Structure formats: C-alpha cells, structure tokens
Structure 1
Amino acid sequence: MKRILLLLTFMLSFFQLKADEGMWLLSMVKRLNGVDLKKQGLKLTAEEIYSINNSSLKDAIVQFGGGCTAEIVSKEGLLFTNHHCGYGNIAALSTPEKDYLTNGFWAMKKSEELPAKGLSVRFMVRMDDVSQRINAKLNNSMTAEERKAVIDAEYKAIQTENSENGKYTVVVRDFYNGNEFYYFVYQDFKDVRLVGTPPNALGKYGGDTDNWEWPRHTVDFSVFRVYADANGNPAEYSPNNVPMKPKHALPISLKGYKPGDFTMIVGYPGRTNRYLTSYGIEQMVNKDYPAWVEASKMAMDVMKKYMDKDQATKLHYASQYASVANYWKNRQGTIDAVEKNQTIAGKKDLESKFQVWALLPENQAVYGGVLEDIKGNYTQFSNRNVERNYSSQLQRNAKYLPIAYQLGSLLKTYVDQDDAGKAGMKTKVTDAINRMYDGLNTQLEGEMLNSMVGLYQQRVNKDVASPSLMSVDAKTLSNIAFSSIFATKESALNFVNSPDKLKLDADPLLKIANSFIEDQKLMGEKFAKVDDAFAKNSRIFLDGLRKSQPEKAFYPDANSTMRLTYGSVNTLPERSDRKYYGISEKNNYYTDINGMVAKYKKGDEEFDLPQRFLDLVKKKDFGQYKDKKGFMPVNFLSNNDITGGNSGSPILDGSGNLLGLAFDGNSEALSGDIIFDPKLQKTINVDVRMVLWTIEKYGKAGHLISEMTLVR
C-alpha cells in the first residue's frame, strides 16, 4: 500500500513542475512548484516515467560501469552509451594486432560480441524515503560516533529487509548533507559485451582541444549488449547466456528538433556541491583545485612521453590518460569560471541573507553561529585538503605504491601459510599479480613515482605531510622500485614460487608504501574531530537554509542516484572568439557533418578522419538520417542540468523517444557543479541520427538498426 500511495503522490504532483535548475529524484517532484509541463511538450504520464509494478521509462536507464549512464534501445538488451564511457573496456579488449580503439569494431552477429571483463550495468527496481525512520532516532546532541552507529544499524536493517536474500543490491544514501535518507533497490547484470564502436578518430574527434567546448563534432557513442541466464536473471559470463529481455526499450526519434523543443534527461549524475559555502568555494579554487591541476598535468606528461613511444603502452594507458586529462581541464576550467562568473560574491550575498534569518531570536541558538563555525573548520583543515589532492593524484597515477601495498598484504598472508595453505592460495595470488601488472610499463611507472613524490615533497606543508614520503629521496625511488619484489610481474611471480618472509619484510618499497598508508590513517585520526564538526555544521546550515526559504523547492545534490532533469533545445550566447564552421551564429544549437569535415586535419591526432568517412560525406550518403532541411546532424545543445556521471544519458523528447546521448558540458559553465547559471549552462549531446548513420553506413552494421523501434 505504501508503494501505491507513493506512486499516486508522484502522479498528482508531476505536472506541477517549474522549468528550472535541478537534478530531481523521481519521487521528489512533489516538492516543485510552477507551470504545467504538458504545455511545454511533455506527453508522458507519470506511470510511463516511473512505475514500481509496471514497465516504465526508468527500466530502460542503467548505471554503466559505476561511473556513466546508458540506455536500452532494443528488446534484445542492446544499449547505447558514450564512446568515452566504453573507452576503458574498448582499450582493454584491444591489442596492437586487433586495435579496436583505433580502428573501431562491429560485431556482425551475436557470437562475435566481445565480453567486457569486469563491466556491469545496474537497473533500478525501486526506491523509497526512509528519512522519518532514521531521523526519529537521531538528534544534534549526539556525538559523531553515536550518530554513525545509529545510521549504520538502520542501513544494515534496510538492506536486509529489501535484498530478498541477495537477489537485489540495496543502497541507502543520505541527502541534503545528512538531513534526509532514501534507499534504492538495484539489480546488477555482469555479462556485458561490446557490440560496436566507431574508431577513436570519430568517437573522440576533437580530443582535448574540443573537450568542454562548443561547437562540437564528436561522434561520442558505443554499443554494448546485456546478457542474462536462460531464466532472464543476472549471471556471470557464460557462452550459454542469452540477451536479456528488458522491461522497456527506448524508441528512437528520427524527427529532429528545433530551439525550444522540450527535452528530458534521466541518468546517474555523480557529484555536485551546489550548497557549498563561499568558504568552501574559496578553498576549492584557491588551493584544492590548483593542486589537482598541477599534479594531474605532471602525471599526463609522464604518461604521454611513453605512450607516444609504444602502441601497447598507448592502449593500456589510454583510459587512465583520458580520465586524468578530462578532470585536469575541468578543474582548471572551474577555477576560471568561478572567477569570471563572480560565483563567490553570489554565495556571500546568499549567506548574508541567511544570516539575517539565522539571527532571529527563534533561530539563533541553532543556526546563528553555524557559518562562522564552518569558516573556522576550513581554516583548520585547509592545508590538509591540499595534501589530499596531491596525495590522491599520487596514489591514482604512481602505481608502484598501491601495487606494493595491496600485493604486499596478500603476499604476507601467503608466506605465513604452511605448504598446504600456500598451495591453496597460489592461484589467487597469481591471478592478482597478472591483473595488477597487466600492461604495466615499468619505465613509465618508475618515472611517475619519482615525479609525483617529488612534487608532493615540494608542495605539501610539512605539518600535514606524510613523514615517510618526506624522508625519502624522490630521485632514487625508481631504483628502489626496480630492485623490489614488486618491480615486475616476473619478480613477483618468482617470489610466489620461492617465498621468503624475511625478504618480504625487508623490501624497501613495501616499507615505504605501508608507512605512507599508515601516515594517511594517522592524519585522518588527527583531523577526525574537525571533520565530524564540519559534517554537523554543514548539515545544520543546509537545514537552516531550506527553512529560511520555505517558498523555494530545494533539490538534493547529485550522488550517483537516478535523477530527472528537464529543459529544452537551446543555444549559447554568441562569443567573438568562437568559430562556427558554417553554422549561423543565430542558430548555433546544432552542428553538422560538413563542419566536422571543415575541422579535418590529415595526420593530426585530434582532428584526423578515416578516408571511408570522408568518402561517405562526399557522396552525401546520409539515407534516412539526414535532417528534413537536408543536413546531417552531429551534435546539439540543450539547457538540461547535468554533471559527471550523466555521460551516456539519454536525452528524450516529450514522448520519451531518444533524441541523442548527453556527453559533455560547456567551458563557460564549468563552475556548474557548485552553481547553476541558467544563461550559460548547457548540455552537449550527440544526435541519435548520427549514431544510427555511423552504425549503418560507416560500420555496415545495419542489422543492429533492425532491432530498434524508429519513430519517423
């Protein structure tokens, strides 16, 4: 009965939305005020968007690999996501001899589809609000430990109540800085196979130069298929598995769009900080992000040096490099956008208004001093936050340290076994070694270790730095690594065959790695009380902010849970330094294939194009996919509110038909994770007609189109 009431509430309130910023949980639309979305172009009923007991739009949307979104487009479990979302899996399936990343890949029959090891997709079954249940057992007088104990106990109970003995994965998340709680029931499918991908020259066209920029001409998609066992249930990979039968598959629109047309995106946005205070933004752009940018750039330079020398290294490190480069540009762009858009001044104005409310007699005891307390928290952990940014990039990119720590722990358990125990563990240890060292370039990793530790030593304040890292000679660390048990896969396997406890205990790289991790734990303990106070103050501030503006509908920050965002096809303000490649500046909401060719630079790593593609464009062989005006669309703009994690999300028309795939934002609004600018913030989408044209005409995989439902 509770589920039915939840759905009825949703249905009665859905059509009272106001077109505005926000990434909304499907059950939260009752909080919105405003106009009837039917007048803006929405034709779906609430039941068709979100239903617990019947198939609905939500059943076609999946979380892809934990960090992106994808959508089901056929009754045979076919799904679309971005090329950059499938990038790591495509690279992992590639070899110098069969380089799918560079040359593309198309399975001409299901038996040719390639299992993507370790890839899974997550379907949401249902969600529910448990705020009242948990908050009834909490109060602001509790210590952080007491609060955590209550929340952990409730999380565990909720998971047990809803998992159906392990059939489902149940995740409980807090919202509004810990003021509300919801649980989500998921079903995870672990047999996912690569069906098709355009070559890198199309899927990553424009490279880092065009990343976050408009106009864009990137054919950013890849195609996978979800498999299940004979009964339709999730299963590990097996050649006997069959394509899953989804509850819903998205119809695909060939009708096109025009400015002002209604659009809706449903996906899994990763993380926003829209309620961050001015003190937090100042810390971010003046200290934290500059550290991230500097460390990322150094890691990119080291990787690029070796990737340019060897194709196997290029393939292995391609996904890591692309991810680091993307965030490097994002972080620097955020710094620039915050300054240009006067974001901090806007936050301070909001906080001044809040403070007037907070100092009212009825509010002062709880809320009067909370902003000053938050300011004090940042003063206390400012240098520690900088250390975290250098440390995170060090651990992410200098693989020798995490390998030594993780594998060292496993080898310690191994050497302590008797002969029978070692025999029982040997396969597990060997498999771990093969996985950790797969594609590892030892010379690259040696230089990476020296460079990243050296930068850490130069930039991190000694009061918050790891004593272990500060005491080593960064210039000789690679020599230590090369002489270690963990130097290569071969040296690690040799140790497994001839284990020596004394040698393991004496390994200098393992000592450094263990000491570094221990230093991190001690630093965490040192700042635990400050972190707890900051969490409490942030929770109280947001609680007060919402109460101070009762007329406003507050959406929760993104946290990798399914969200709905709505808007329209839209344009960007004209910019004098923007080259439009043949598109009228007054109608810059789309790009076409001729503009893509206009950017072409033969032999250029970012702007080269395959000859076959150029030949097809020259013939104007666009088939049913060209726009009614005659052009072949590539990308288009909308004003939907999205962030990282939305990559691959479907952008839909008012009837729930697929118009394209969201894949990027724009540089003018890179501060979007902390503040939404309705004039500047846009979503860049790849047109689904370009996707289908590439599959059929370029990839010669028209059999895949026959699986889909096309709306003309």
Structure 2
Amino acid sequence: MMKKILLLMTLCVAFLTSMADEGMWFLMHLKRLNEADMQKKGLKLTAEEIYSINNSSLKDAIVQFNGGCTAEIVSKTGLVFTNHHCGYGAIAELSTKEHDYLTHGFWAKNYGEELKPKSLYVRFFVRMDDVSKRILALVNDKMPEKERQKIINQEIAKIEKENSENGKYVVSVKSFYNGNEFYYFVYQDFTDVRLVGTPPNSIGKFGGDTDNWEWPRHTGDFSIFRVYADKDGNPAPYSKDNVPLKPKYHLPISLKGVQEGDFSMILGYPGRTNRWMPAAGIDQNVNYAYPAWVEASKVGMDAMKRHMEKDQTVNINYASQYSGVANYWKNRQGMIDALTKHNTAASKRKLENGLQKWANKKENKAQYGDVLQTINSYYAATNEKARHDNYLIGMLRSSTFAALPNNLGNALLQYAGANEAQRAQIVPRIKALIQDSYEKAYMPLEIDVLTDELNLYVKKAGNIAPYIAELATANHADFSQTVKVAFEQSIFGSTEKLNAFLANPNVELVNNDPLFKISNALLTKYREASPAQEQMDDDFQGAFRKYIAGFLAMNPKGKYYPDANSTLRLTYGTVRALPKDPRNDADINNYTTLKGTIAKYKPNDEEFDLPKRLIELYERKDYGRYADKKGYMPVNFLSDQDITGGNSGSPVLNAKGELIGLAFDGNIEAMAGDVIFDPVLQRTISVDIRYVLFVIDKFAGAQNIINELTIVE
C-alpha cells in the first residue's frame, strides 16, 4: 500500500513540476532553477545576460504591449515588432473607408508619416523582488479571508509606494500560488506609441477564423510600431516634439533560420493559466461555464457579422471587437474538446487522491484534512451560477450596450446631482466616454446584438436578472421590439440625446431610461453576491491556498513555477515538428512555406484572398536574401515552448538571443494547455522572422524600416 501511495506522490510531482519543456519561469530565478538546463540544451548566454538589474540585458528589449500582448524592441530608435492581431485595434481605429489600413496595409516612409492611435502604451520591465516573508508575516490561517486580504492589501500599497520613486515607476505586487508567495514588479510605461507599418489583412490575418489555432498555418501575423519619449528619454504624453526612444537594448535579428531540435526560448507576458485548478473546477468549466461562453459568443458574432458583411465602414469599425470575441469562442470550444478528450479532470482527481492520503496523516490533518471536501462542495454549489455568469459574460463581451448605459448612466447621475463647479470637473470625463463609445457605433448592429443576446440569456441562463425576467414575461421571451423601442426612447440611443441631457440634466430621466434599466439589471446581477455566496467564496479561497500549499509541501525540493498572471516569464524548448501532415508541403512538419500559402489562395475570399503582388513575388521566386538555403520562402514554424494568451507577439530567440520569429498562436490539439501541459502535443506557432522581413522589404518596399534593424546574416 505504501508503495502505491509513493507512486501517486511521484506522479503528482511529475505533473506539477517541469515536464520536458514545461514551465513559465521568473527571470530572477533563472540562475538557480534553469541556467544549467538551458545551457545543456544549447543556450549560449548566461542568466545575467537575460536578466540583469545593473546592466542592459535581453529583458530590456521585451515590453508588454497595450496590457494584453507582448512586443520587442528591434532597433536603436525604438522600433517595435508585435503581432498583427495585437495591433489590430489600433490599426482599425486609424482606418477609415478612404484609408483602410486593415484591408490595404500601411507603411510609413519616415517619422512624420507614423500614425498615433488615441490610446496605446508599452510597459518596460525594470526589476522584481520577493516580498513573501514581509507580507505573510502579517497574516495567519485563523483570520477570516476578508481580514487577511485587507491586511495584505494595506501592505501591498506600502510596498508599491516605496518602490515607485515618487511616481516615476508603476509598481505592482502580485500574488502567486494563490496567496502563498508575493513578488513586486517595477515597470515604466510609455504612452506615445505610433503605427509604423502593417501588412494587409490578407497577409496579417491570412486564414482568418478557419485557420485560427490550427496547423499548418501560413499567417504573416506581425505589425510594427515605434515608442517615442521626450528629449531626455523619459515617458511623455504625445507631442510633436517627442523623439524616438533610445532603448537600453534592442534585439538583433537572425537570417539563419531554424532546424529541427534547435534550442529556442520565448520571453513574454503570458496572461492566465490554471495549472493548479482542482478537478471539480475543470468539470465545471467543461460542463457548465465554457459551453455557455461558446454559445453566447457565437450568437454575438453572428449578429455582428450580418451587418459587417453589408457595409465596409461597419466592417472596419467592428473588426477588432469581432476578432476578440471570435478568438475566445474558438479557444473555449477547443478547451472543451481537449479537456474532454484527455480526461484531464480524471487525471487531476487521481493526483488529488494522493494529496488526500497525505493530508490524512496525523501531522497534516489539522491543516489540510478538509481542503478537498471544501473545494468540491464549492464547485458543486456554484455549477449553475457558472453557467449563468458565462452567458452573461458572453453578452457583455459582444454587446457594447449591455454595459455602456449602466457605466455612462452612473456618471450622468453624478453629473445631474452635482453643483456647477463639480459639473465642470465631471463633464470632460463624460464627453470623452461618449466620444469613445459612439464615434464608430452602428446602432442597427447594436440593436441586433443586444436583442439576440437577451433572447439567448432568458432561454438558457437559468437564474437571470429579475428585471430581465419581468421583461421576458411581458414580451414572451422575444426582445426584438423591446430593444428596438428602448433604443428609440433612450437618451443613450444617440449622442444628440446625451448632449441634450448634459444641457438639461434630470436624475429621473436616467433612472427611468429603458436602456439604463436593462443595463443596470445586467450589471447588478453580474456583481451580485449574497452573504452566503461571499462566505462560500472565502472558504474556497482559504482551501485553495492550502490545496496548493499541500502539493508544494509534499515535495519541498520540487522545481515549481506559478500560474501565469501577466507577469514577464521565460519559457524554453526546441524547434519541434508535429507528425507529417499531407496538407503541408514542407519536408519536415515544423515549418510552412509561401508555396503552401499560395495553395490556400481563394480569390476574393474573406479569409484566403492574397495580394496580387505577393503572388507575383512567389511566381518569380523573388525572395531576396530572406529565402531558406534550400530555396523556399519560410512563413511559419513550430517549437515546443510553454505559452498562452498574452504571449502573442513574444520574441522567439535562438541560442544567442537573436530574434528568429514572433509567437502568435498554439495548436488546437493542445488546447487544454492552460490547465495541463502536454509534453507530446504542445506547440507554439510563430511567424518566421525571414517572412516578416520579406514582406517589409520585397512586398512593401519599406527599405527605411529594414535599414533600422540589426540583421545577422
């Protein structure tokens, strides 16, 4: 019996520690945990050359891009490479029907032609440090969760203030292992970021939703921006007097290409993983939460698409929002399929059985004995709530007017109740919100999206918002007329009505507004938390913290990494093929070629059309110095690093730290990767840097951009 227990514990450690190329590692721990292994696999650098506080290093070239992606500095004048889909929102914002940069691309010939989106920033990582002992010394497990969190938040505020240098830096203290460790991160933000170049959609988004998360891929998923600073190199608001940033470090670019088995590494800002999620949580996502998310997303997408297909201006204005919804729609369905296929919950449950046996030992029982029971009871009690909440989340992500009237309406109520001096301070914020929300809004689309989402919500979500239930009873669960009339009567139906309200504010007008009442009901339900639910949440948080602590305590010498949470990490591995695929013309199924791109070409197709010039370059085999030594033009390649959302745009680096590609996707076979790493199937899909340079140089003729780069032949 003891041998079986030890075997289960060994399996548990193998599951939670580094497997093959698993792991999203802190840079400050590379010397201790990873340097020797990385160098054994081929790395030519030291940990100090990757992360140094006192000297320039690789980390100085890696930036978080607009809070949700990664990018890299590639020139001494602040040039930034990231994914096309990461820059998509900014490109769409700058596009018009007359200057449709999404469809036709854009290439600035000089600094003066570069375009400034309204809101775009990059975040440089300065340093990090461990403050676990300092924070955890102030709390104990006997405290209620609210009291514990209050004390932690107070100490976090002190740490962030101490390290901000009077506002020079942005400081963020993050919890890891669900409150078992704490680290602070120091950043510097630059907000003057301008568009330099982007390929047309037919290159940057080639394959569309059909190829998303799929291999083989043929997508030129890149865009180019530039960071500007004041004359002293400091962050500054947009100004014509700002100058291109002179970074501490920029990445050299290699034209040598990739081979099967080559060492490679990725630095970036992975957004969120749930590798420590309990089995019951996996079951909840697969059976309740994700199916609701998928269905609500598809309803919103279909409603948007009906209007986008009829009007190019509408298509441009909603392209970014649609793309964001579509990406997660396919992701969540892929998660359902992968987690089900691999019996991930059952595998995790076996590990939890080992944890429970360890927890039942006399020396562990008081601390860990009831942990799994509390966790399992929590998920059983919240399954239906998870289903409801994800239908609602799908609506809020798809429909602007599900949330906007509530958010804007509360600002209007504050305005209406204020005196003249207070109104003068409030009104700029309100007008900015109106401008941002209505400038490109298309009301027929918004009416249809909200109508279809509400129809789905009342039919499928279960314990719905009371006011929405009243309306559904009155309209027989058909919101077509209800929403149409609401838009006609609401002050939120147009900017003219909103401006009229600002001239003559009236509290009752907002409170009785039909769109405000719908939106307020949805947001109130979204934020709803009964005392009983709050207590369950507290009990669960305490149990989940002990759950992770228990796994760590079972093998204190293990090599662990925390879940991703949008902090800078490094992951490493090799260029690695998948089994041969007849759809790929490549000799080895670890790369794709321009020949394969052309084979997918469908004239005038939204997803698989191609620019005439790209086809001509292919027919002439005019690849310049960017062709592989075997003569083909590479497009995408595979490696086996451990990445997730937020890594989009991350640099893929070779053993010398030279840029060889931009990570932009994963493969759908390993879609369960946010919950469990698959060492056999997990792949990163990247655009080969040679294809990026080929498009910039040979396709676009943007030699000025090529001249800025440090290219290693």
Q: Distance in 2 between matches of 1:376 and 1:146?
A: 23
Match of 1:535 in 2: 541
The 5-angstrom pairing of residues 223-262 of structure 1 reads 223-262=224-263
The code of the aligned residue for 1:523 comes to: A
Instruction: Give 1:510's match in structure 2, choosing from 496, 511, 516.
Output: 516
The code of the aligned residue for 1:518 comes to: T
Match of 2:138 in 1: 137
Match of 1:14 in 2: none
Q: Rate the CA distance shift 1:74–1:33 in 2: closer, same or farther, 3 A.
A: closer
Match of 1:350 in 2: 351
TM-score (norm 2): 0.94
Match of 1:572 in 2: 578
The code of the aligned residue for 2:585 comes to: G
Cα deviation digits, residues 100-151 of structure 1 (max 9, x gap):
0000000000100001211000000100000011111111101011101111
1:425 Cα deviation from its structure 2 partner? 4.5
Q: Is the 8 A contact 1:18 1:37 kept in 2?
A: no
Bigger shift: residues 597-606 or 66-75: 597-606
Instruction: Give 2:562's match in structure 1, choosing from 541, 552, 556.
Output: 556
The size of the alignment, in residue pairs, is 689
Tell whether 2:471 aligns with 1:472: yes
Match of 1:185 in 2: 186
> Unaligned regions of 5+ residues in structure 2, if any?
1-17, 473-478
Q: Distance in 1 between matches of 2:204 and 2:49?
A: 32
Q: Rate the CA distance shift 1:581–1:469 in 2: closer, same or farther, 3 A.
A: same
Q: Rate the CA distance shift 1:35–1:235 in 2: closer, same or farther, 3 A.
A: closer
Q: Is the 8 A contact 1:18 1:36 kept in 2?
A: no
Bigger shift: residues 661-670 or 373-382: 373-382
Tell whether 2:514 aligns with 1:495: no
Match of 1:656 in 2: 657
The 5-angstrom pairing of residues 576-587 of structure 1 reads 578-584=581-587, 587=588
Q: Distance in 1 between matches of 2:112 and 2:75?
A: 18
Match of 1:289 in 2: 290
Cα deviation digits, residues 270-314 of structure 1 (max 9, x gap):
000001111110001111000000000000000000101111111
Q: Distance in 2 between matches of 1:429 and 1:561?
A: 32
Cα deviation digits, residues 633-673 of structure 1 (max 9, x gap):
00000000000000000000011000000000001000000
1:399 Cα deviation from its structure 2 partner? 1.7
Q: Is the 8 A contact 2:264 2:655 kept in 1?
A: yes
Q: Distance in 1 between matches of 2:53 and 2:421?
A: 51
1:503 Cα deviation from its structure 2 partner? 2.4
Q: Is the 8 A contact 1:468 1:519 kept in 2?
A: no
Q: Rate the CA distance shift 1:166–1:419 in 2: closer, same or farther, 3 A.
A: closer
The code of the aligned residue for 1:631 comes to: Y
Q: Is the 8 A contact 2:664 2:687 kept in 1?
A: yes
1:176 Cα deviation from its structure 2 partner? 0.7
Cα deviation digits, residues 613-634 of structure 1 (max 9, x gap):
1111111111111111111100
Match of 2:3 in 1: none
Q: Distance in 1 between matches of 2:379 and 2:633?
A: 51
SS at match of 1:706: helix
Q: Distance in 2 between matches of 1:703 and 1:187?
A: 28
Match of 2:601 in 1: 600
Tell whether 2:80 aligns with 1:79: yes
The 5-angstrom pairing of residues 633-648 of structure 1 reads 633-648=634-649
The code of the aligned residue for 2:465 comes to: S
1:36 Cα deviation from its structure 2 partner? 3.8
Bigger shift: residues 228-237 or 514-523: 514-523
* Superposition CA RMSD, Å: 1.6
Q: Distance in 2 between matches of 1:19 and 1:507?
A: 58
Tell whether 2:684 aligns with 1:683: yes
Q: Is the 8 A contact 1:433 1:493 kept in 2?
A: no
Q: Is the 8 A contact 1:19 1:566 kept in 2?
A: no
Tell whether 2:70 aligns with 1:69: yes
Q: Is the 8 A contact 2:21 2:640 kept in 1?
A: no
Q: Is the 8 A contact 1:62 1:122 kept in 2?
A: yes
Q: Rate the CA distance shift 1:501–1:538 in 2: closer, same or farther, 3 A.
A: closer
Tell whether 2:546 aligns with 1:522: no
1:396 Cα deviation from its structure 2 partner? 2.0
Q: Is the 8 A contact 1:270 1:560 kept in 2?
A: yes
Q: Rate the CA distance shift 1:27–1:524 in 2: closer, same or farther, 3 A.
A: farther
Q: Is the 8 A contact 1:662 1:686 kept in 2?
A: yes
Q: Distance in 1 between matches of 2:391 and 2:19?
A: 42
The code of the aligned residue for 1:573 comes to: P
Q: Is the 8 A contact 2:406 2:516 kept in 1?
A: yes
Q: Distance in 2 between matches of 1:606 and 1:227?
A: 34
TM-score (norm 1): 0.94
Q: Distance in 1 between matches of 2:557 and 2:534?
A: 36
The code of the aligned residue for 2:513 comes to: D
1:417 Cα deviation from its structure 2 partner? 3.5
1:35 Cα deviation from its structure 2 partner? 5.6
1:437 Cα deviation from its structure 2 partner? 0.7
Q: Distance in 1 between matches of 2:494 and 2:518?
A: 17
Q: Rate the CA distance shift 1:85–1:34 in 2: closer, same or farther, 3 A.
A: closer
Q: Is the 8 A contact 1:626 1:632 kept in 2?
A: yes
SS at match of 1:670: helix
Q: Distance in 1 between matches of 2:452 and 2:653?
A: 46
Q: Distance in 2 between matches of 1:425 and 1:533?
A: 40
Q: Distance in 1 between matches of 2:337 and 2:421?
A: 60
Bigger shift: residues 425-434 or 136-145: 425-434
The code of the aligned residue for 1:480 comes to: A
Match of 1:453 in 2: 454
1:426 Cα deviation from its structure 2 partner? 4.1
Q: Distance in 2 between matches of 1:152 and 1:589?
A: 47
1:78 Cα deviation from its structure 2 partner? 0.1
1:53 Cα deviation from its structure 2 partner? 1.2
Q: Distance in 2 between matches of 1:274 and 1:592?
A: 34
Q: Distance in 2 between matches of 1:524 and 1:288?
A: 20
The code of the aligned residue for 2:675 comes to: I
The code of the aligned residue for 1:517 comes to: L
Q: Rate the CA distance shift 1:239–1:47 in 2: closer, same or farther, 3 A.
A: same
Q: Distance in 1 between matches of 2:696 and 2:39?
A: 34
Cα deviation digits, residues 172-193 of structure 1 (max 9, x gap):
0000111000000000000000
Match of 1:264 in 2: 265
Q: Distance in 1 between matches of 2:357 and 2:227?
A: 54
Q: Distance in 2 between matches of 1:114 and 1:33?
A: 41
The 5-angstrom pairing of residues 116-127 of structure 1 reads 116-127=117-128
The 5-angstrom pairing of residues 10-29 of structure 1 reads 20-29=21-30
Match of 1:399 in 2: 400
Q: Distance in 1 between matches of 2:244 and 2:505?
A: 45
Instruction: Give 1:546's match in structure 2, choosing from 549, 552, 567.
Output: 552
Q: Is the 8 A contact 1:212 1:667 kept in 2?
A: yes
**Overall identity of the aligned pairs, in %:** 54
The 5-angstrom pairing of residues 179-218 of structure 1 reads 179-218=180-219
The code of the aligned residue for 2:471 comes to: V
The 5-angstrom pairing of residues 381-460 of structure 1 reads 381-419=382-420, 421-422=422-423, 425-460=426-461
Bigger shift: residues 362-371 or 499-508: 499-508
> Unaligned regions of 5+ residues in structure 1, if any?
1-16
SS at match of 1:226: strand
Q: Distance in 2 between matches of 1:466 and 1:109?
A: 54
Match of 1:10 in 2: none
Q: Rate the CA distance shift 1:184–1:278 in 2: closer, same or farther, 3 A.
A: same
Q: Is the 8 A contact 2:214 2:667 kept in 1?
A: yes
Q: Is the 8 A contact 1:627 1:633 kept in 2?
A: yes
Q: Distance in 2 between matches of 1:30 and 1:79?
A: 28
SS at match of 1:680: coil
Match of 2:591 in 1: 590
Q: Distance in 2 between matches of 1:119 and 1:65?
A: 6
